[in-house]
Structure 1
Amino acid sequence: MARSSTPPLPLHEIEVPVPNGLSPFAIGTFDEIGSFTRARFPHRHDFYEILYLTGGGGVHVVDFEPYDIEPHSVYVLAPGQVHFWKDTELIVGRVLIFAEEFLLVHPGGLLPAPGGSPLLRLTGDQVDLVAGILDDIDHEYRTRQPGYATMLQAHLHILLVQIQRLRQAHPTVAASSSIVWRFTRLVTKHVLTERSVAAYAEHVGVTPGHLTDLVRAAMGTTPGAVIRAALALEAKRLLAQTELTIAQIAHRLTFEDPSYFGRFFKREAGTSPGDFRREIREKYQIARDR
């Protein structure tokens, strides 16, 4: 499947400082990783980000869904997800960032499927479990003993497995197979140029019917609905953060007819593009054209 030639969406992207020269991986406090970690404007990254919050207050907004900030909260953000902080007090905790190529194995099954909830709230022994693994990662990262890169990869793998186990045990979080994960990641990358369920099924090596069964079992929805939701999310990002007209956004999303785009968006989002733009900006006081 060819990568989209469409220019990147005009949302804020961050050049990440990577202490100690180890790339593509870093761990530290919010202050150590950089001020962008507390940014109050919508932005997104081209790497994975795990946030472990131990203090603070306010709201963390991920793809326009608000989550109250509470201690012992873990967020796993995928590349391309838009997030920002609103009405926040001092946010305390750890930030872990890494690129997909840093993982020991293919991430399918280890990371939440795109479109799922990014949040996991820890309770009881779960707090010590996750905090202990992060302590181990932080120690290896700072001491840099021989073989530390391999140790970091191993500890990261353990952390992701434990987070996935905890997510699967949570009644509101569905587990996803490797195939479902690959499908949803492909959709997030290529939805502007490919919207055929059959094409995605072929790319992940299954029939459209089998892909439908897997997605329905893991996510409670259909592949077509995942594709439409991803397209609607791209539209929301453009509406919230650019001054493109509705017709220009329709064109950017490869809709030939702006009126059809309007009907599509209202069906998916429950409101018109213009009303969404006005309401989301008023709700979050989103600054324009950063």
Structure 2
Amino acid sequence: MQLLDSHSPVPVYSLEPDGVTGNRHFRVYNYNGSLPNLAELLIPHRKDHYLLVFIRKAGGRQWIDMTPYILQDNTIYFSGPDQVIVKEEFKQLWSTGIAFTGEFLSLQENASLTRLPLIQNPQGGHELKLTETDVTFVEDILAKINVEYQRPSEWQQRMLAAYLTVLLTYLSRLYSEQFTGNDPSVEKLVLTRFQAKIDECFREWHEVNDYASMLHVSAGHLSEVVKSQSGKPAIKHIHERLVLEARRLLFHTHQSLKEIAFDLGFSDASYFNRFFKRETGTTPAEYRTYIRKMYQ
């Protein structure tokens, strides 16, 4: 396993369009024995998106957040944004991978997708073993996704989202069955409660201190636990939830930017505009134009 030198940050790989659909938020990978150049994957790296891979046949090993996994046939491997991944070299691979961003999930009408066990991953697992029945089901859904992915149309995004919803729901059931009995740690429960409170109160409360008071812990302790369990600062969780809701409102409603800002608890629309651009790299108006052009 290769390591980065002490002066090199862990690289973060974004989801790149493959030229088929131009979609920056959803991509399908198919490997049938041969592999592209994997040099960049053989060093520790992070992805800024979710990756779900069905391994039909493979050898070798990969590491996800310091846990080694010997790749098994007919097995699902999954990882989320910001987890450190490194692969040990293998020569051939038969698999189908589905990569998608948190934004892709957030734009679906079924907002509960972001709360599925496979996405939340409370047990910190990254491997799901499949029975013959599971393999048949997964292969069927992946075949449908592959067909739809190769046929760009005005309905493509909705169809991909529908198939992905079925796949994630099915795999979340397997996740709950396979990881049952592994009680989460006290620290993991703190993170879960913190995330639940954010879902309840993100419109009214934007500071870590507010949530620490609601959870009856100090702000310092909450920040420390959240960072150790999720790899992200506590304030980042709050900001991501605000951005998630802002994206939904920009896409699904005709509310003005000022109305959205006030709906999310910002007293000043210009501050909301600066906040959104800082977090996403684009203004709310630019985002609304871009995302509606892509999905409608």
* TM-score, scaled to structure 2: 0.56
Alignment deviations for residues 67-106 of structure 1 (CA, whole Å, 9 cap, x no partner): 1111111122111011121142412201111111212225
Q: How does 1:118-197 map to 2 (within 5 A)?
A: 118-172=126-180, 180=192, 183=195
Residue number among 91, 115, 120 corresponding to 2:93 in the alignment:
91
For the pair 1:202 / 2:203, whether they are aligned, the reply is: no
Instruction: Indicate the residue corresponding to 1:52 in structure 2.
Output: 54
Give the direction of change, closer, same or farther, for the CA distance of 1:36–1:140 in structure 2 (3 Å limit): same
Cα deviation, residue 180, structure 1: 2.4
Mapped partners of 1:165, 1:37: distance in 2: 35
Aligned letter for 2:83?
Answer: Q
Instruction: Indicate the residue corresponding to 1:66 in structure 2.
Output: 68
Mapped partners of 1:35, 1:54: distance in 2: 20
Secondary structure of the residue aligned to 1:50 is strand
Alignment deviations for residues 199-244 of structure 1 (CA, whole Å, 9 cap, x no partner): 38828xx94269xxxxxxxxxxx99756445569xxxxxxxxxxxx
Tell me how many residue pairs correspond in the alignment: 198
Aligned letter for 1:14?
Answer: Y
Mapped partners of 1:55, 1:132: distance in 2: 17
Q: How does 1:1-290 map to 2 (within 5 A)?
A: 10-19=9-18, 20-30=21-31, 35-36=37-38, 39-103=41-105, 104=108, 105-106=111-112, 107-110=114-117, 111-113=119-121, 116-172=124-180, 180=192, 183=195, 199=208, 202=211, 207-208=214-215, 227-230=227-230
Secondary structure of the residue aligned to 1:21 is coil
Give the direction of change, closer, same or farther, for the CA distance of 1:171–1:77 in structure 2 (3 Å limit): closer
Contact 1:30–1:93 (CA<8 Å) still a contact in 2? Answer: yes
Contact 2:15–2:49 (CA<8 Å) still a contact in 1? Answer: no
Contact 1:168–1:174 (CA<8 Å) still a contact in 2? Answer: no
Give the direction of change, closer, same or farther, for the CA distance of 1:67–1:134 in structure 2 (3 Å limit): same
Contact 1:112–1:181 (CA<8 Å) still a contact in 2? Answer: no
Cα deviation, residue 52, structure 1: 1.2
Give the direction of change, closer, same or farther, for the CA distance of 1:231–1:139 in structure 2 (3 Å limit): closer
Contact 2:14–2:49 (CA<8 Å) still a contact in 1? Answer: no
Range 73-82 or range 24-33, more displaced: 24-33
Give the direction of change, closer, same or farther, for the CA distance of 1:15–1:101 in structure 2 (3 Å limit): closer
Aligned letter for 1:202?
Answer: Y
Structure 2: gaps (5+ residues): 1-7, 199-206, 233-296
Q: Flag the structure with more relative contact order, 1 or 2, with Cα contacts below 8 A and sequence separation at least 6.
A: 1
Secondary structure of the residue aligned to 2:27 is strand
Aligned letter for 1:109?
Answer: L
Give the direction of change, closer, same or farther, for the CA distance of 1:181–1:209 in structure 2 (3 Å limit): closer
Aligned letter for 1:22?
Answer: N
Secondary structure of the residue aligned to 2:92 is coil
Aligned letter for 1:162?
Answer: Y
Aligned letter for 2:79?
Answer: L
Contact 1:27–1:33 (CA<8 Å) still a contact in 2? Answer: no
Alignment deviations for residues 12-49 of structure 1 (CA, whole Å, 9 cap, x no partner): 22243312212211112148996459821111111111
Contact 1:108–1:182 (CA<8 Å) still a contact in 2? Answer: no
Contact 1:54–1:71 (CA<8 Å) still a contact in 2? Answer: yes
Q: CA RMSD in A?
A: 3.8
Mapped partners of 2:209, 2:139: distance in 1: 38
Contact 2:27–2:98 (CA<8 Å) still a contact in 1? Answer: yes
Give the direction of change, closer, same or farther, for the CA distance of 1:229–1:102 in structure 2 (3 Å limit): closer
Mapped partners of 1:51, 1:37: distance in 2: 19
Contact 2:27–2:100 (CA<8 Å) still a contact in 1? Answer: yes
Contact 1:39–1:84 (CA<8 Å) still a contact in 2? Answer: yes
Aligned letter for 2:215?
Answer: P
Mapped partners of 1:151, 1:174: distance in 2: 35
